[in-house]
Amino acid sequence: MEDSGGQGVVDYAAYPGQLTAPRVMGATVRLLALAAVLSLSVPLRGDVGGERINAVVKIFTVQSDPSFLQPWRNYQQTLTSGSGFVLPGRRIITNAHVVANQTFLQVRKQGDTKKYIARLLNVGHECDLAILTVDDPEFYRGITPLETGVLPELQDKVNVIGYPVGGDNIAVTEGVVSRIEPINYRHTGRELPAIQIDAAINPGNSGGPVLEDGKVVGVAFQGLSQAQGIGYMIPLNVLEHFLADVADGVYDGFPEFAPHIMPMENPDLRAWAGMRSGDTGVLVTYLPPPEQERGMLQVNDVIMAIDGVPIANDGSVPFRRDEVIFFETMIWQKKIGDICRMKIMRHGKVMTVDYRVVAGKKLVPRLNFDILPSYYLLGGLLFVPLSENYLNTWRDWRTNAPRQLAYVAEYGDITAARDQVVVLSEVLADESNQGYQNIRYQMVTTLNGVRIRNLRDLIERIAAIKSGFIELGFQEHFKIVLEVNRCRTATARIMARYRIPADRSSDLPSPGAAAAIMPLPAANPGTPPVKP
């Protein structure tokens, strides 16, 4: 799958076994894995250079991905494998993409022929990490759990241990730390810090530990296949954030910084903002509506420092000796609800703002897993919420998906009037919807002249119409008009014809659940339409 930024192909995840059909859905068409390689991988026994390999395990996953075009069905199951490692507390760490949409998990120790049934404890898809466990105490006999170390320095040598393609036994490979910086985690598209290793790519190593002096300093997870000798690992600080987050059994996630900012390297820009000689920072250029409502920052504020750490004009902050990193890294390392103390300049005056960090939320959600798609069927009209999972049907959706859907996914904002995009995915042919059967992939904006907020709102408002017509307005300035009770009668017939078990997904309100909303009038042909 090509990186949308033209950077090449990002490969990551579990190695498909010989019986595995190509994955149809998910974050990529094919999930691969990372092995940091400076020399040929070879099977190992016992301790090698102080590296405890008995805590590194092979994970076997049965996955079944849901269809987002026909959301009542799943694709055929596939068999994949990846790597993992045991930490104290009977926790097995691996990548989230190794176990995404899993239906059955097994784990095998090095030197053992038995596969033990495992279960998923916690998963953080945005940081591509997961925790498994095995309930059978026999599994842990002979295993010495690994310990965590410290974040490696540049030019440090590290070992990646796992089960890459080319054999069934464990193997170790060596790489050199090249740099640490935020990158796009391709499992979901979230940007977080990663460590680049001077390394190549081998399938099957995803989820394996990256060790320095026998201690865990990261987790192998993805690489750049069009550039030789480049691989990435999830750094220790991201792993520790994840482990601390799920200690209560609930994954809250990493904060996101919603305001749009730009660097201030141009001297005229700095003078315009009222900055003095020696002042540095970044300029706030846009606040999404939810950020405006919070009232903490304003457009044209200059963010000069976070928690006492000055921000350079290019947006970087000091990291370690002779290193810098993007300033938002300081926000990502916080927990949801924590406070960042920001030094800002507003209208030429310097002040301090206590900025509370929150989880990110997009109008069109990022790739998600382990959930069933939402849908609603009425008279053959199939409505779904727009998500990157849905868009991923087009593979490189930024290029191939319908332009209106790709645009709103990139630039759309949550507002008080709309917190979800509803798409008419297709019209399942029936006599009741004659003339509309070639309409698909269209954004629904209004029902009987009233804007809809989300799919649930659409369902509840349709339920409130007892008779007459429904008039659906679309972003592309056309409409569909149908008699509501004729649609309801046709729905059961269409469900039987297309073998659809229910007219809506289980997460949506049932037909008997009346919504406490003002009933909508039936569509009146003489009422002027609302511009979508």
pLDDT score at 16: 44
Whether the pLDDT of residue 425 is over 90: the answer is yes
- CATH 2.30.42.10 in the chain is located at 259-359
Would you say residue 140 has pLDDT above 90?
yes
**Confidence at residue 387, expressed as pLDDT on a 0 to 100 scale:** 97
* Rounded Cα–Cα distance for residues 31 and 105 (Å): 17
Residue 28: the pLDDT is: 35
Residue 261 in contact with residue 285, Cβ under 8 Å?
yes
Q: Which helix (H) or strand (E) holds 405?
A: helix 403-411
pLDDT of 269 higher than 70:
yes
Q: Which fold would CATH assign to domain 376-497? A: N-terminal domain of MutM-like DNA repair proteins (3.20.190)
Q: Where in the chain is the domain with CATH 3.20.190.20?
A: 376-497
Alpha helices for 422-470 (secondary structure H): 455-463
Residue % of the chain over a pLDDT of 90: 77
Closest CA to 110 of 63, 172, 67, 68: 172
Cα–Cα distance, 99 to 471 (Å, whole number):
43
Cα–Cα distance, 56 to 47 (Å, whole number): 12
For residue 169, pLDDT over 50 is answered with yes
pLDDT tens sequence across 201-221: 577 889 999 999 999 999 999
- Are 204 and 78 contacting, i.e. CB atoms less than 8 angstroms apart? no
Q: Is the pLDDT of residue 34 over 50?
A: no
Q: Which residues are catalytic?
A: 97, 128, 206
Q: What is the pLDDT of residue 518?
A: 40
**Model pLDDT for residues 280-304, shown as the tens digit of each residue:** 999 999 999 999 999 999 999 999 9
Contact 317, 310 (CB under 8 A): yes
Give 482-508 pLDDT, tens digit per residue.
999 999 999 999 999 999 999 999 999
- The mean pLDDT value of the chain amounts to 87
Alpha-carbon span 403 to 509, nearest angstrom: 31
Query: Which whole number is the average pLDDT over 28-45?
Result: 36
Residue 51: pLDDT band (50, 70, 90) is low
- From CA 194, how far away is CA 387, in angstroms rounded? 26
Q: Would you state the pLDDT for residue 109?
A: 94
The predicted structure's pLDDT at residue 379 = 97
Virtual torsion, Cα 111, 113, 119, 125, nearest 10 deg: 60
Q: What is the pTM of this model?
A: 0.85
Which pLDDT score is estimated for 302? Answer: 98
| 158, 177 contact by CB (below 8 A) | yes
Cβ-contact 169, 110 below 8 angstroms: yes
Residue identified by tokens 């176990």 is 99
DSSP 432: G
In tens, the pLDDT along 312-331 reads 999 999 998 888 999 999 99
More confident residue, 395 or 147: 147
Res. 166 pLDDT band, cuts 50 70 90: confident
Decide if pLDDT at 4 tops 80: no
Domain 10-248 annotated CATH 3.10.450.50? no
Question: Does the pLDDT value for residue 373 go beyond 80?
Answer: yes
CATH of segment(s) 259-359: 2.30.42.10
List every span in the chain annotated with CATH 2.40.10.120. 10-248
524: pLDDT strictly greater than 90: no
Q: What is the pLDDT of residue 205?
A: 85
* pLDDT confidence band for 230 (50 / 70 / 90): confident
Question: Which pLDDT belongs to residue 47?
Answer: 52
The whole-number average pLDDT for the span 16-20 is 36
pLDDT digits (tens, 9 = 90+) for 351-371: 999 999 999 999 999 999 999
